[in-house]
Amino acid sequence: MLRELSGVQQIKGEPMRRWFYDHEIDLVIWQDDAGEIISFQLAYDKTLNEHSLFWHRERGTKHYVVDDGEGEGLSKRTPFLNLNRAADCDRVLAKFLTLSGGIQHEITNFVATQLREMSAT
């Protein structure tokens, strides 16, 4: 179940960031001073073939495959995001709703609405 992490680092000049964690998915949201969600990032399939959906109210939606930086041998590189157009938003939505019981209903409803809109396009 998603639980909010306390003590999330806030970056000067950026909107307030909140982080909700589960071993299967992570949700990070950014909120303006009025508490409105400006953007969010939802990481899913974290244990195998991780992906990330990013939504921003002005820039729209992007979907990424996460390269974890694990190379062959002992070397470890920096993880990075590769743009990926295909996302199974219906499956992601179902998993998110299953795990969202520990967060505020307003946040759950907002993210679910965006995921439904992504699925419809």
Give the DSSP letter string of 2-63: -EEPSSPPPPTTSPEEEEEE-SS-EEEEEE-TTS-EEEEEEEE-TTSS-EEEEEETTTEEEE
- Rounded distance between C-alpha atoms, residue 3 and residue 100, angstroms: 8
Compute the Cα dihedral for 94, 65, 3, 19 and give only its sign.
negative
- For the chain, the structural domain boundaries read 3-120
pLDDT value at residue 87: 77
- For the entire predicted model, the pTM comes to 0.86
What is the average pLDDT score of the chain?
Answer: 87
- How much is the pLDDT for 80? 46
Neighbours of 81 (CB within 10 A): 17
pLDDT digits (tens, 9 = 90+) for 7-33: 999 999 999 999 999 999 999 999 999
Question: What percent of the chain clears pLDDT 70, i.e. is strictly above it?
Answer: 82
Please state the φ and ψ torsions of residue 79, each to the nearest 5 degrees. Answer: -65, 150
Cβ proximity of 114 and 96 under 8 Å: no
pLDDT one-digit tens code per residue, 41-99: 999 998 888 889 999 999 999 888 776 655 555 555 555 455 566 678 899 999 999 99
- Tell me the two tokens of residue 86: 């295909």
CA distance 78 to 44: 19
Q: So what's the pLDDT on residue 14?
A: 95
